[in-house]
Amino acid sequence: MTIPATTPASATDVHIARTERFAAHNYHPLPVVLSSGDGAWVTDIEGRRYLDCLAGYSALNFGHRNPRLLRRANEQLNHLTLTSRAFYNDQLGGFAEALAGLCHKDMVLPMNSGAEAVETAIKVSRKWGYEVKGIPADSARVITMRGNFHGRTTTIVSFSDDDTATGGFGPFAPGFVSVPYGDIDAIRQVITPNTVAVLFEPIQGEGGVVIPPPGFLSRLREVCTRNNILMVADEIQSGLARTGKTFACDHEDVVPDVYILGKTLGGGILPLSAVVADSDILGVVTPGTHGSTFGGNPLASAVGAEVVAMLQTGEYQARAHELGERLRAGLDGLIGSGLSEVRVRGLWAGVDIAPDLMTGREACAGLLARGVLAKDTHGSTVRFAPPLVASEADIDLLVDAVSEVMSDGSAVGGETAGGDGHGVCEQ
Ligand SMILES: Cc1ncc(COP(=O)(O)O)c(C=O)c1O
């Protein structure tokens, strides 16, 4: 009797099967299992190397295992990692001072995830509305932008217009009104005496690296000042050097009232987020009104302070600009050859793929096969945000890979293999 030959499951298959079996399916990852990283590159468990052009949704601006950040984290690991805020620790003060200095603001409120920091900014804005602006209790309104992505909590999805984010999760929190992104007249029209804040992304990252019309940020600044409304910039993804400046708002020399920061603030090592503002705003927070067990822990504070020191040199901002111009030149050359639109700010690009060619997911599967990791969003868009420690050759490799995937797609008339057309924003 002959036993039919079976192909042994690869290590990749085993890990994927285990993850799918035991971890909830709130993501739809590409079929690659990563096990190590160094700078702009990662390696999978089969030993294949990939250029990481997602960089943890910009949480890895300094690259994987940045040596300076690892050194600082290791030092702190050997001293003290967690205290809770029931006591002082010897790292939080220095981190808060450094970050406040980077932002030219008075104070910092540390949290962990981006969504927590957005929640914090909403709470602070509401309390500021009641205590400083003097609006009636429970009447505060926050203006938000359509196409936004600010996180996944029940309050935050209350002002999302992504059906996948909202479906099945109601009832939603009141007190929000959304207007088209970048539309200053629409903002003016929905302002009421009870409006406390405009919450916006200076560039909509998950929306597909959508850049507002020139002048929008400065006009928004004027409107907020004139109406005594807080300008609250969610720079969680756009901030901290990604766009070629410390903050995306810097591109119009605009200073918001509140910065919301996260992702790369934790150096790609641990979650660290923060709300940064002057004391007339953050001063409304008093003991017991807000907090988090891990917020401001000494390990995160030590890493965060090192991140700020690295940003103070300006070298990462300059690098994002230089590499971004190279990326722009390469991707612009593919418009009409598979790409219908390219949007670039610093080392951050959103490309729209010609709709009849392939989906964003299929493009990402093609890139994966060529050793490039990237992530699709909203059907036909792919984002590229390589670590800022990438080399010129890495950027050229990315552009070549996109070019090859596009021409392969054209060669088979859009019938590329892989992917399921699943195009929701998953971040
Ligand atoms: C602009 C923006 N705000 C908030 C968040 C939520 O951050 P987190 O996933 O850490 O909760 C994200 C995540 O992608 C983001 O891009």
CB distance 205 to ligand 1 below 6 Å: yes
CA distance 363 to 404: 10
Residue 416 Cα to ligand 1 middle (Å): 31
pLDDT in tens, 323-344: 999 999 999 999 999 999 999 9
pLDDT at 355: 86
Domain ranges in the chain?
A: 11-65+315-411, 67-312
Report CA 369 to chain centroid distance, whole Å: 25
- Nearest atom of ligand 1 to the alpha carbon of 271: 10
Ligand 1 atom nearest to CA at 238: 1
**62 catalytic per annotation:** no
In ligand 1, the atom with minimum distance to the C-alpha of 262 is 10
Architecture category of domain 67-312 in CATH: 3-Layer(aba) Sandwich (3.40)
The reply to whether 234 belongs to the active site is: yes
Q: Which residues of the chain have pLDDT under 50?
A: 414-424
For residue 208 and ligand 1, the question of a CB distance below 6 A is answered with no
> Catalytic residue among 105, 127, 245, 263, which?
263
Distance 165 CA to ligand 1 centre (A): 13
Q: Quote the pLDDT of residue 148.
A: 98
Kindly state if the Cβ of 150 falls inside 6 Å of ligand 1. yes
| This prediction's pTM | 0.95
Ligand 1 within 6 A of 235 CB?
A: no
User: 391-419, pLDDT tens digit by residue?
Assistant: 999 999 999 999 999 998 876 654 443 33
Q: Ligand 1 centre and the CA of 206: distance in Å?
A: 9
Please identify, by atom number, the ligand 1 atom nearest to the C-alpha of residue 116: 11
Is 147 near ligand 1, meaning CB less than 6 Å away? no
CATH node for 11-65+315-411: 3.90.1150.10
Q: Which two tokens stand for residue 108?
A: 């910092």
Question: What was the pLDDT predicted at 321?
Answer: 98
CA of 9 to the centre of ligand 1 (A): 35
Catalytic residue check, 263: yes
